[in-house]
Amino acid sequence: MSNAVKISPSIMSADLAYLARDLHAVRNADYIHIDVIDGQFAPNLTYGVPVVAACKRATDVPLDVHLMIDNPDDHADWFVDAGADLITFHIEAARHAHRLLAHLHDRGVKAGVVLNPATPVCMLESIIEDVDVVMLMSVNPGFGGQSFIEGTYAKLNQLVALCREHDVHPLIELDGGVSVSNAAEVAAAGADLLVAGSAVFGAADPHRAVAELRALAESGLSKAGA
């Protein structure tokens, strides 16, 4: 857990016909979030290696690649080679999570795991000391524009407690339904890397939307620490 909140706009809500333009608009972001969905692990089919590589060419903002795929053990290297700076994969899909985390670190990228809404935090007990990031899904994976699952607040509290128990400080990433209406609350609960799609790319001024989300989140973080 860090002392500042980071924002990762999701290109799922960008206009792919003008992707370079949209990436330039959010050059004040901390990461660019890319959801790789294979149509098997989650009910959608999105982007592959060429889009990750295109984003790498189009922006200097680090790439946050979220693998929603059945076989991350076999394919994570493709996305490292394409330019990912951070790779997260689902604990529900990985055959050997510890081995994959170590391999990604050996490849020189940050690595983390993702929990679906119905997956308990206790699944991280044996690997919490090996992750750079833990992402909690606050919607069910597959599609953008879903409503935030309110039970995520309790899960954030559980994850923060687990990190304190092990004296580790991974980034806690939250993906799904993040907006100006809840950015302060989720940051106060422990999230410090917020994925936002429609809240950013659906705004009239995406650059300003990133700044507003960050300011709101950091205000919530400050209040929580007061």
Rounded average pLDDT over 175-200: 96
Rounded average pLDDT over 53-62: 98
101 vs 104: CA distance, rounded Å = 5
Residue of 22, 64, 175, 192 marked active site: 175
Mark whether 175 is an active-site residue. Answer: yes
Q: Is the pLDDT of residue 2 over 90?
A: no
| DSSP-based helix, strand, coil % in the chain, nearest 5 | 40, 20, 40
Q: Is the pLDDT of residue 226 over 60?
A: no
For the entire predicted model, the pTM comes to: 0.95
Q: What is the predicted pLDDT for the residue at 1? A: 46
Asked if residue 190 lies in contact with residue 1, where contact means CB atoms within 8 angstroms, the answer is yes
User: Given pLDDT bands bounded at 50, 70 and 90, which one contains residue 144?
Assistant: confident
Over residues 24-45, the pLDDT tens digits come to 999 999 999 999 999 999 989 9
- Beta strands 86-90 and 32-37 are unpaired
Share of the chain above pLDDT 70, in %: 98
Rounded average pLDDT over 197-215: 97
Q: Which domains does the chain have, with CATH numbers?
A: 6-225 (3.20.20.70)
- What is the DSSP-derived secondary structure letter of residue 142? T
Rounded average pLDDT over 207-224: 93
Mark whether 38 is an active-site residue. Answer: no
Both tokens of 45, joined, read 């089919």
135 three-class SS: strand
Residue of 35, 38, 64, 132 marked active site: 35
Q: Is the pLDDT of residue 113 over 80?
A: yes
Q: Is the pLDDT of residue 171 over 70?
A: yes
16 vs 22: CA distance, rounded Å = 8
- Order of strands, edge to edge, in the sheet holding 6-9? 6-9, 193-196, 171-175, 133-137, 110-115, 86-90, 63-68, 32-37
Asked if residue 73 lies in contact with residue 48, where contact means CB atoms within 8 angstroms, the answer is no
